[in-house]
Chain A
Amino acid sequence: MEIDGQLIKRRAVFSKAVRDLGPWHAVSEDAAAALSARHRRKVVDDSLRLIDDLTNRPLDPLFSDARLTQQKQRSKFSTWFTRIIVFIICIAVGFVGIVFVRQLNTDPRRQVRASLISELQAQNASLKKTTTEVTDLHTKVSRLSDSMPNAGPDSTLTQDEMTNGALAVKGSGIVVTLADPVASGTANGNGPRENNANHIRVVTDSDLQNIVNLLWKAGAEAISVNGYRLGVSTSVRTAGQTILIGVNQVASPYKIEAIGNQKNLSQAMDNDSQPGLYRTLNAAGINPQVSRSYSLRLPAAQATGVTHAKRSK
């Protein structure tokens, strides 16, 4: 549409869609006859016209026209005032949401559990303390007795203590690493009674037991899981959804270090020799990684005494 001899394209009313509408009025018979068949169909077919309007021109041209013009300028104060109000409302909604979620998650026994947890932590602290004391005393005693004339280091004792995992050792071996599938990351963050492990499988204590068992069979000489050495009385087990090595909690990723013949060990942990194990683990999205290492250092296991058993002969 031309105004002042200049083409204005911006306004919706002057757009092609509107221009193509064509005149809309009663046509005399003669005039209708004169129009081409194609044009007549275009103009006369009411229902098609309606559909066309609905799909191609959903907005009234005048309305979209109005949208193009400058909005009434609001004052800076009112703009910022609205923004602040909206911000406050957002915060309030978020806060109330959090309060609700917390309310729904409240555990009536939380207090009891909190006191149990603090007791457990105190126990663990004293366990740690006593362990270091015992290790200290042990080294003192053995140093003293070794320093005696004609009583060098006792080879039988050393061998026994190696077998029991009571001595820190180093050597070459393999490292098996396995981690929970990423999708199950939230499984640990739920309440104690929700058992999300049913939906997505995570690494369980029996998986670790299985691998440890296999490594012992393959002739491993010393094994540690996440830095906790397996001694004669160290167990791999679960409490709730937490895996414990002895009394120490471990979490994914699990790193099992084993000292021994690298070839035998990695062969035993091979995909080919353990097809069943790998099939179930892979199906759950757990991919054990086996790597060789030439310098593994495993700490000593938790020291244990003997109180009930006596030498029988």
Chain B
Amino acid sequence: MGDKKNRNILSSMHIQHAQDRENDRTDTGSFPIVRQRPKKMGGGLVSRLMTSLLIVLLCALLGFGYAIQLNNKTSTYETMSEEELTRLISETSTQVQNLQQRKTELTGQLNSLKAAANKQQEAQRIAKENEDTSGILSGRLPAVGKGVIITISQGSKERIDAATMFQLLEELRNAGVEVMALNHVRVVTSTYITETRKSLECDGQILKPPYRVKAIGDPQNLQNAVNIAGGVGSRFKVKFGAKVTVTPSESVDISETRDAEQYQYAKTVE
């Protein structure tokens, strides 16, 4: 009985299987039989190599361009605004004028030296003249002239820091200052300002507020340098709450002097 049923099932499965094969036939005739993977269009070793070469070349170009962009130092003027450009132009022209003046001065000296009857006397006179000029600049000689006096009171918000004070000196230098003194310290090339625990220190001397900067130079330029919008003057006011007054004066007397330093390491080059 069981055996018969089994055979029955088996034969029915057999038939079913045959039917399934017929039904599941995928050989539709729509597609040709493929016996191997078709060749890719031009996908040879050479073209692959060419592709990677091209990629390498493009990457190299990209890197090169980026490096150039990084090191692009020309036309930085392009990034400045009109105000900055105008300011820069006026500053440069002031410098040019100063230099022109110095040039006429030197030309005059040279000519008089050549023409003078007593050359030695003339040379001494010129040497004295030049010595005075560089002595005034180097802080060896006291000086007087028109300029401004800047008074900066103690900061009401916080203590005035050395960086801002140094910035003030730089702004004044930029505005064409010739001689400067900060409180009782004559400002020279190598002047530094630092902070001590209680106060500012300038060239080894303690500065106490109110700070007073005497500066000889074109009063208008010097005033502008401090009072320009967003400049160092407003920084004193906004950040430190200090009061800044700039008083132009016809005669600023700077009697502070200092001895020339003895240089050990720097030697002149011919």
Contact between B178 and A233 (Cβ–Cβ < 8 Å)? yes
Chain A contact surface mostly: mixed
| Contacts known (A134-B103, A166-B134, A308-B217); A190 close to B9, Cβ less than 8 A | no
Contact between B142 and A141 (Cβ–Cβ < 8 Å)? no
Residues in B with CB closer than 8 Å to A133 are 103
CB distance from A242 to the nearest CB of B (A): 5
Contact between A305 and B192 (Cβ–Cβ < 8 Å)? no
- Determine if A61 is an interface residue (Cβ-Cβ < 8 Å): yes
Contact between A209 and B123 (Cβ–Cβ < 8 Å)? no
- Determine if A200 is an interface residue (Cβ-Cβ < 8 Å): no
Contact between A70 and B38 (Cβ–Cβ < 8 Å)? yes
Contact between A240 and B89 (Cβ–Cβ < 8 Å)? no
Contact between B82 and A123 (Cβ–Cβ < 8 Å)? no
Contact between A157 and B130 (Cβ–Cβ < 8 Å)? yes
Residues in B with CB closer than 8 Å to A247 are 88, 91-92, 95
> What string of 1s and 0s marks CB contacts (under 8 Å) between B237-270 and chain A?
0000000000000000111000011111111110
Q: Which of A79-130 contact B (CB under 8 A)?
A: 109, 112-113, 116-117, 119-121, 123-124, 126-127, 130
Contact between B123 and A134 (Cβ–Cβ < 8 Å)? no
Q: Which of B35-68 contact A (CB under 8 A)?
A: 35-38, 41
Q: Which residue of A lies closest to B216 (CB)?
A: A309
Task: Pick the contact of B36: A10, A34, A154, A165 (CB < 8 A).
Answer: A10
Residues in B with CB closer than 8 Å to A150 are 120
CB distance from A258 to the nearest CB of B (A): 10
> What string of 1s and 0s marks CB contacts (under 8 Å) between A283-313 and chain B?
0000000000000011000111111111111
Contact between A309 and B113 (Cβ–Cβ < 8 Å)? no
Residues in B with CB closer than 8 Å to A251 are 73, 76
- Determine if A282 is an interface residue (Cβ-Cβ < 8 Å): no
Contact between B84 and A240 (Cβ–Cβ < 8 Å)? yes
Task: Pick the contact of A170: B9, B27, B266 (CB < 8 A).
Answer: B266
| Contacts known (A209-B170, A220-B190); A148 close to B123, Cβ less than 8 A | yes
Contact between A168 and B268 (Cβ–Cβ < 8 Å)? yes
- Determine if A57 is an interface residue (Cβ-Cβ < 8 Å): no
Contact between A163 and B9 (Cβ–Cβ < 8 Å)? no
- Determine if B107 is an interface residue (Cβ-Cβ < 8 Å): yes
Contact between A311 and B142 (Cβ–Cβ < 8 Å)? yes
Residues in B with CB closer than 8 Å to A189 are 69, 72, 79
- Determine if A213 is an interface residue (Cβ-Cβ < 8 Å): yes
- Determine if A175 is an interface residue (Cβ-Cβ < 8 Å): no
Of A36-44, A48-56, A180-188, the one with at least 4 CB within 8 A of chain B: A180-188
Q: Which residue of A lies closest to B139 (CB)?
A: A163
Contact between A171 and B267 (Cβ–Cβ < 8 Å)? yes
Task: Pick the contact of B267: A13, A25, A169, A311 (CB < 8 A).
Answer: A169
Contact between A165 and B92 (Cβ–Cβ < 8 Å)? no
Alpha-carbon distance A297/B265, docked complex (angstroms): 12
Alpha-carbon distance A151/B128, docked complex (angstroms): 12
- Determine if B86 is an interface residue (Cβ-Cβ < 8 Å): yes
Task: Pick the contact of A151: B23, B124, B216, B218 (CB < 8 A).
Answer: B124
- Determine if B156 is an interface residue (Cβ-Cβ < 8 Å): no
Alpha-carbon distance A232/B254, docked complex (angstroms): 16
Task: Pick the contact of B138: A62, A140, A232 (CB < 8 A).
Answer: A232
Contact between A209 and B163 (Cβ–Cβ < 8 Å)? yes
Task: Pick the contact of B69: A159, A186, A298 (CB < 8 A).
Answer: A186
Contact between A69 and B73 (Cβ–Cβ < 8 Å)? no
- Determine if B16 is an interface residue (Cβ-Cβ < 8 Å): yes
Alpha-carbon distance A158/B127, docked complex (angstroms): 11
Contact between B137 and A164 (Cβ–Cβ < 8 Å)? yes
- Determine if A267 is an interface residue (Cβ-Cβ < 8 Å): no
Alpha-carbon distance A137/B81, docked complex (angstroms): 37
| Contacts known (A68-B38, A220-B190); A131 close to B170, Cβ less than 8 A | no
Between-chain CB contacts (< 8 Å), 10 pairs? A3-B27, A25-B16, A34-B9, A71-B41, A127-B95, A137-B107, A163-B189, A171-B267, A240-B80, A309-B143
8 closest Cβ contacts across the A-B interface?
A305-B102, A137-B106, A160-B134, A312-B144, A235-B174, A216-B192, A163-B138, A160-B138
* Given A148-B123, A231-B189, A305-B101, 10 other A-B residues pairs in contact with their CB atoms under 8 A: A23-B16, A68-B37, A117-B77, A137-B106, A149-B120, A164-B137, A190-B79, A192-B84, A305-B105, A311-B132
Chain B positions within 8 Å of A, measured between CB atoms, are 9, 12-13, 16-17, 19-20, 23-24, 26-28, 30-38, 41, 69-70, 72-73, 76-82, 84-89, 91-93, 95-96, 98-103, 105-107, 109-110, 113-114, 119-120, 123-124, 126-127, 130-147, 162-163, 166-167, 170-171, 173-174, 176-179, 188-194, 216-218, 253-255, 260-269
